[in-house]
Amino acid sequence: MNPTATVPPAVGTSLLDDFSLEMTGKDVPKLEEAHAGIPRGTRINVTFLAGEDPGMRFAAARAVKRLGFVPVPHISARRLPSQRHLEEFLAGLAADGTAENVFVVGGDPARPEGPYEDALAVIRTGLLQRHGVRHVGISGYPEGHPAITEHSLWSALGDKSAVLGAQRIAGDVITQFGFDADRVLGWVEDVRARGVGLPVRIGVPGPAGVRRLMTYATRFGVGTSASIARKYGFSLTNLMGTAGPDRFLHALAQGYDPARHGEVKVHFYTFGGLRATVEWIARFRRGDREG
């Protein structure tokens, strides 16, 4: 064996164990195709996209559960027209046995469609526990957010973490996808410095076409400078290519120090490519083991 640093550190053991996935309500047939390749008990988030109705979200969460995984349905505070909608959504999940884990996010609308201004307002209602929620995911933004100040992001994170703690609800932080592993690790250190000890799931895109990655990055205000893109493994001039998070995850593994960063895992945004993501993860882990 060559003991030099040219061999990337194995990501296999800690970082990729217990990875989580994200799908939409429309992805149920894809999950059915891909399920054999996903470890049982994997947490699978069901995104709250505009234009999907509660029925689709319930069905997706049920499918996740039926196939042996842990459904994590999303609740978008600003997209809730009323308290009744929130109650009915939670009651529907509870009736299906899929309410135990949820992810609560503010949501993209510039103005709330109903009574909930942000994720904290939903958490504060107390309705989550009343419907059997025991674990709440909240969002994190290692690269900031185009419409929310750093100050608001940090105080929201601190408040949500404190209120969940007071409610004795477990939680984790799932980050917006990004392309800059060093920036992500620096941000996780800041999270710890601010006294937030929740496990952090680092959001990464599954393998996808460069054009699609760029489109989503632009839409969600994620930075893609040429140098970061190159480090990640895609060229902004080759929009026809495909890029996976190989280099990103190796860089993350290289910089990850449990003593400084606490509990860190990986969350894959599959963007319509559930099966490609699952196959990519299996290949990547095999490659890692075989070194």
Ligand X SMILES: NC(=O)C1=CN([C@@H]2O[C@H](COP(=O)(O)OP(=O)(O)OC[C@H]3O[C@@H](n4cnc5c(N)ncnc54)[C@H](O)[C@@H]3O)[C@@H](O)[C@H]2O)C=CC1
The contact set with ligand MHF (CB under 6 A) reads 22, 24, 47, 108, 176-177, 220, 269, 271-272
Beta carbon of residue 126, minimum distance to ligand X (angstroms, whole number): 17
CA angle 181, 212, 16 (to 5 degrees): 40
Rounded CA gap, 91 and 73, in Å?
A: 13
Q: Does 107 bind ligand X (CB under 6 A)?
A: yes
Residue carrying the six token digits 């994997």: 42
Residue from 33, 88, 108, 189 that binds ligand X (CB under 6 A)?
Answer: 108
Residue number, 15 or 105, with CB nearest to ligand MHF: 105
Beta carbon of residue 150, minimum distance to ligand X (angstroms, whole number): 11
In the structure encoding, which two tokens stand for residue 101, read together? 């884990």
Residue from 1, 36, 50, 110 that binds ligand X (CB under 6 A)?
Answer: 110
Residue 267: which of 251, 254, 250, 249 has the closest Cα?
Answer: 249
Task: List the single partner that 271 binds among ligand MHF, ligand X, none, CB under 5 to 8 Å by kind.
Answer: ligand MHF
Residue nearest to ligand MHF (CB): 272
Task: Return the C-alpha torsion angle 189, 190, 193, 196, nearest 10.
Answer: -90
18 dihedral zone (left: phi>0; alpha: psi -120 to 50; beta): left
Rounded CA gap, 150 and 153, in Å?
A: 5
Beta carbon of residue 230, minimum distance to ligand X (angstroms, whole number): 25
Beta carbon of residue 240, minimum distance to ligand MHF (angstroms, whole number): 17
Beta carbon of residue 108, minimum distance to ligand MHF (angstroms, whole number): 5
CB 268 within 8 A of CB 21: yes
Residue number, 27 or 288, with CB nearest to ligand MHF: 27
Q: Does 162 bind ligand X (CB under 6 A)?
A: no
Beta carbon of residue 87, minimum distance to ligand X (angstroms, whole number): 19
| Segment interacting with ligand X, rule: CB under 6 A, options 24-32, 107-115, 165-173, 182-190 | 107-115
11 contact partners, CB below 8 Å, separation of at least 6: 249, 250, 252, 253, 284, 285, 288
Site for ligand X in 118-137 (CB under 6 A): 118-120
Residue carrying the six token digits 């949820």: 102
Q: Which is it for the CA torsion 158, 248, 206, 98, positive or negative?
A: negative
Beta carbon of residue 164, minimum distance to ligand MHF (angstroms, whole number): 21
Task: List the single partner that 118 binds among ligand X, ligand MHF, none, CB under 5 to 8 Å by kind.
Answer: ligand X
CB 98 within 8 A of CB 65: yes
Size of the site for ligand X (CB under 6 A): 18
Q: Which residues bind ligand X (CB under 6 A)?
A: 77-78, 105-110, 117-120, 139, 147-148, 152, 156, 176
